[in-house]
Amino acid sequence: MRIDLSEKTALVTGSSAGIGFSIARGLAGAGADVVVNGRSEKTVTAAVDKIRQEVPDAAVRPAVADVATDDGANRVVDLAGDVDILVNNLGIFGAIPALEITDDDWRRYFEVNVLASARLTRLLLPAMMERGWGRVLNIASDSAVVIPEEMIHYGTSKTALLAASRGFAKAAAGTGVTVNSVIAGPTHTGGVEDFVYQLVDRALPWEEAQREFMRTNRPQSLLQRLIEPEEIANMVVYLASPLASATTGGAVRVDGGYVDSILP
């Protein structure tokens, strides 16, 4: 299967590290002109340089701004130009006991995990529809379906993202633009390592800590290991391609079998 995204421009939010970086690198490897986004000029520049080193002849450029704000989103849109593929990857997560989640916590999680995606979709989707081709991909989580007791604010925000994705897909019906969510399972990133050590003994070596986390906190996983970011990126690159033209309004799982359902 050959995926060719040449002459397509892709914007990946929160792509200076982790899953977002792997997605940006994967899209660049398929020939897309990739816009790497983050809040820190240092980390975004480092990510751009790393992609250029790892992907020969990569077309990749930076867009430094906080897309969880109106000004930041508008700045990124101006820097990116005409966007054919929007990957709303930016997200935050953390463990807080349910009864200790404050109103400010709830607002922050919805601002970053839901409204940032909705805002950029609102800004970029109309032009995609006018051109008759486009892809909007929202990176969701297994936590949207199986709400974790240690972070219901995060899980609820990702549930809302699934609903928003379905709604935007209906808005784009018949235009040649597809809108989908990707339900990512427990994935191995630097942030997740910190999260794991919030829940297991910090004295454990990483491999033991990971196994303990999966055994005690994610026992439903059929993969029985953390997913690597590249495995999420592979699905995103496919869904961003012309090969996925009949997939829209969906919640596509890359969860290692974590969600115990034959449907999302």
Q: Tell me what pLDDT residue 184 has.
A: 97
What digits encode the pLDDT tens for the residues 154-188? 999 999 999 999 999 999 999 999 999 999 999 99
Fold adopted by 9-187+227-254? Rossmann fold (3.40.50)
Mean pLDDT throughout 23-42?
98
Nearest 10 degrees: Cα torsion 29, 248, 128, 145: -80
Going by pLDDT thresholds of 50, 70 and 90, the confidence category of residue 192 is: confident
For the chain, the domains span 9-187+227-254
pLDDT tens-digit profile of 133-160?
999 999 999 999 999 999 999 999 999 9
pLDDT band at 217 (very low <50, low <70, confident <90, very high): confident
Read off the pLDDT of each residue in 247-261 and give the average, rounded to a whole number: 95
Mean pLDDT of 225-244: 97
Q: What is the pTM of this model?
A: 0.94
Given a cut of 80, is residue 264 above it in pLDDT?
no
Q: What is the pLDDT of residue 191?
A: 81
**C-alpha–C-alpha distance, residues 221 and 82, integer Å:** 39
Q: Would you place residue 257 in the very low, low, confident or very high pLDDT band (cuts 50, 70, 90)?
A: very high
Mean per-residue pLDDT, 27-50: 98
Residues involved in catalysis? 154
Query: Is the predicted pLDDT of residue 195 greater than 90, yes or no?
Result: no
